[in-house]
Amino acid sequence: MHKLWLQSFSNEMPLLNSPEEVARWELSQFHDASFSVCLRPEMGDGFEIDGDIITGGPTGVLYGAYTALFSSLTGKKHLKMRSEPAYRLRMLDFWDNLDGSVERGYAGRSLFFDHGGLHYDPQRIRFLARLLASCGINAVCINNVNVLFEAQRLMEDLLPDVAELAGLFRPFGIRLMLSCDFALPIRHGLPTADPLDQTVQDFWRSIAEKIWNAIPDFAGFVVKADSEHRPGPFTYGRSHAEGANMLGDAVEPFGGVVVWRAFVYNCQQDWRDTTTDRPKAAYEHYMPLDGAFHDNVLLQIKNGPFDFQVREPISPLLLSLRKTHLALEFQLTQEYTGHQIDIYSMPGLFSETFAQIPRGQLSAVAAVANIGRDDNYVGHPFAALNLFAYGCMAWQPDLSPRQVTELWCHLTYPSLSASCEEKLVQLLMDSREIYEKYTAPLGLCWMVNPGFHYGPSPDGYEYQSWGTYHKADRNAVGIDRTAQGTGYVLQYPPEIQKRYADPAVCPDHLLLFFHRVPYQAVMSDGRTLIQRIYDDHFEGCEAVDAMSQTLCQIAPSLPEDDSRVCLDRMEKQKLNAREWRDVVNTFFHRLSGADDAKGRKIYD
């Protein structure tokens, strides 16, 4: 079994019943370190380390144990520190279906399901729970937010099986959640799913009671409603606060939460319509409802206003909702960032996003899982960094990307020489910018193959109804989202409006997201826009070749399986980078008629 960043930990763990027992056992396995554990229930997830004494709450002692052991493995001993998580709920959302398929999954089939029911290796699940606990994750939602009809069985005849699975996670301080279908009452013969209907309210109370009787520490529901043709409150003329609060009332007696995804973008439009702007949709839906959600309802908001694109500005909702409990959502599974074929390191994304959100604004964080049944859990061995970094930075958002990358490299590949480790750290640190350069620099979005979302198709979404446009023509490219354009920039606080609304100060990496720019416009570095587009794609492709050379130097020092997978996927990444370079450069050359000033090959 691949051990990811727990290389120095024993694979064989006896069946244990609580986080405290797990903590004591983990500590007992390290003969070069002697720790004692002191339980203080009032500390909850928090812990304190003073030399060889770890004090903490029921789960805090477990997190403290992993912190102490990781520090010992990196040569840091005799710690004196106190720590508690920045966010009380640190979720991982699996998009797994009961047939074993995984929506947007790039690491094999589901770890949990197959053939219409739960089907898993208990040893792998326990090790997964151990991995997640070691980086601070404390909740998992095991089924797809796009709830298929058969998934209702998880709350019915398959509930005993779900309870058994919950028992495997429980000793690691991880609570289970389920995605639920808002139309479930209709599946049971009720004539409506109207959240204000008394029979619907009673139905959900009975469902909640049944689940909590089977799983007393069940955490709650994740809901996607009124988006991508999912059912929701709008069907009945109700607000999302009314829909979410109905479910909140149902789970409140059991201490449960409702995580309500703010992914409402059924603002389908005609591509000829230049006034409707999809990124505005979530803000327009939810700002009028600020303060209307119950205390046990969390509004889960994507990090950007689109859909996990290579580069987006922060969602304005994350900065503006002040009376609503919020959860920030990332996507670890690399839907738009390389399918876990191309290397794309995310700690920089996490750091930039957390840094922009006012302290105290968030109650929770969530991420779409990048995990599957592949031997290494994550498809590309280096994709484990994103999972590890997400957990660590959900606990401590001010960790630096380099700090968490260095820790992951040292824990995952402890036998690497200092020189090889530094090369690997730098390769990972550079990978995000390199991917952005050869795919979608300057804030361009949606130039991917429709549906599949891997590889270039500059006009793939340009005439579809989802509002995913770049509006490139022979003169210019980009969307004017200033006050004179769609007005999207007005959703931000004034100080951020000023930065994004002025093309002279707007960051280059978001320029074409906020502005429509002529190809011959001169940028701050003296290059024209069209030359910058050409240069970025050529340079990005060249950088992938350089990454390949670096990987070839590191590969002999990696475990054999990791080396083989990394080298194989790097060959695919090189082909992908070349395809992006040639397709996008040719696309803009044909539109603009401008030649590359450096005389490089662009295909006609």
Instruction: Give tens-digit pLDDT for 233-292.
Output: 999 999 999 999 999 999 999 999 999 999 875 667 889 988 889 999 999 999 999 999
Please, which pLDDT band fits residue 227 given cuts at 50, 70 and 90? confident
pLDDT score at 263: 83
- pLDDT at position 151 is 85
DSSP class of residue 113 equals E
- In angstroms, rounded to a whole number, what is the distance separating the alpha carbons of residues 96 and 128? 15
E strand or H helix at 567: helix 560-592
Q: What is the pLDDT of residues 23-73, one digit of tens each?
A: 999 999 986 668 999 999 999 999 999 999 999 999 999 999 999 999 999
134 closest CA partner among 64, 51, 36: 64
Choose among 19, 53, 48: nearest CA to 33: 53
| CA distance linking residue 506 with residue 499, whole number of Å | 5
- The DSSP letter of residue 570 is H
Confidence of residue 150 (pLDDT cuts 50, 70, 90): confident
**Can you give the pLDDT at residue 30?**
83
| Beta partners for residue 175, in sequence order | 139
pLDDT for the residue numbered 265: 59
Which strand (E) or helix (H) includes residue 37? strand 36-39
Does position 106 have pLDDT exceeding 90, yes or no?
Answer: yes
pLDDT at 513: 98
Q: pLDDT at position 266, please? A: 62
Only one residue has tokens 């520090």, namely: 71
How far apart, in whole angstroms, are the C-alpha atoms of residue 233 and residue 326?
20
Burial of 291 (0-12, 13-18, 19+ CB in 10 A): exposed
Mean model confidence pLDDT for the chain? 96
Sign of the CA dihedral with 177 first, then 179, 183, and 186 last: negative
Using CA atoms, how far apart are residues 68 and 81, in angstroms rounded to an integer?
Answer: 10
Of the candidates 174, 175, 171, 173, the one whose C-alpha atom is nearest the C-alpha of residue 14 is 171
- Exposure of 99 in the CB half-sphere (CA atoms within 13 A): 7
The confidence band for 11, taking pLDDT boundaries of 50, 70 and 90, is: confident
pLDDT at 267: 65
E strand intervals along 373-521: 476-477, 517-518
Q: What's the average model confidence in pLDDT over 175-200? A: 96
Q: Per-residue pLDDT tens for 109-149?
A: 999 999 999 999 999 999 999 999 999 999 999 999 999 87
Position 268 scores a pLDDT of 77
pLDDT of residue 576: 98
* 597, 531 contact by CB (below 8 A): yes
How far is the C-alpha of 508 from the C-alpha of 307, rounded, in Å? 20
User: Is the pLDDT score of 229 beyond 80?
Assistant: no
Residues identified as active-site: 228, 307, 335
513, containing H or E segment: helix 511-514
**Strand pairing class (117-118; 80-83):** unpaired
pLDDT of the residue at 1: 76
563: tokens are: 């080396």
Q: Please check whether residue 370 is in contact with residue 332, taking contact to mean a CB–CB distance below 8 angstroms.
A: yes
Alpha carbon separation from 201 to 181, 182, 218, 492, 551 (Å, rounded): 14, 12, 20, 37, 57
Closest by CA to 325, choosing from 356, 366, 353, is 366
Alpha carbon 543 to its chain's center: 25
Domains defined for the chain, CATH in brackets: 19-83 (no CATH), 89-412 (3.20.20.80), 441-479+516-592 (3.90.1330.10)
Phi and psi at 239, nearest 5°, equal -85, 165
Rounded CA separation 577/67 (Å): 38
Check pLDDT > 80 for residue 559.
Answer: yes
Across the range 174-202, mean pLDDT stands at 96
374: burial class by Cβ within 10 Å (0-12, 13-18, 19+)? buried
Q: Which two structure tokens, joined as six digits, stand for 68?
A: 């102490």
**Which residues pair with residue 301 across a beta bridge?**
328
- Region 218-237: what's the mean pLDDT? 90
Q: What are phi and psi of 539, to 5 degrees?
A: -65, -40
Residue 420 half-sphere exposure toward CB, CA atoms < 13 A: 16
118: DSSP letter: E
> What is the residue type of 177?
M
User: Dihedral sign, CA of 377, 382, 383, 388?
Assistant: positive
Query: Rounded to the nearest 10 degrees, what angle do helices 560-592 and 418-439 cross at?
Result: 30
Report d(CA 167, CA 451) in Å as an integer: 37
d(CA 488, CA 514): 8
Distance CA 411, CA 409 (A): 6
φ, ψ of residue 113 to 5 degrees: the values are -125, 155
What's the whole-number mean pLDDT along residues 468-486? Answer: 97
- Given a cut of 80, whether residue 392 has pLDDT beyond it is yes
Q: For the full predicted model, state whether its pTM sits above 0.95.
A: yes
Q: Per-residue pLDDT for 588 more than 80?
A: yes
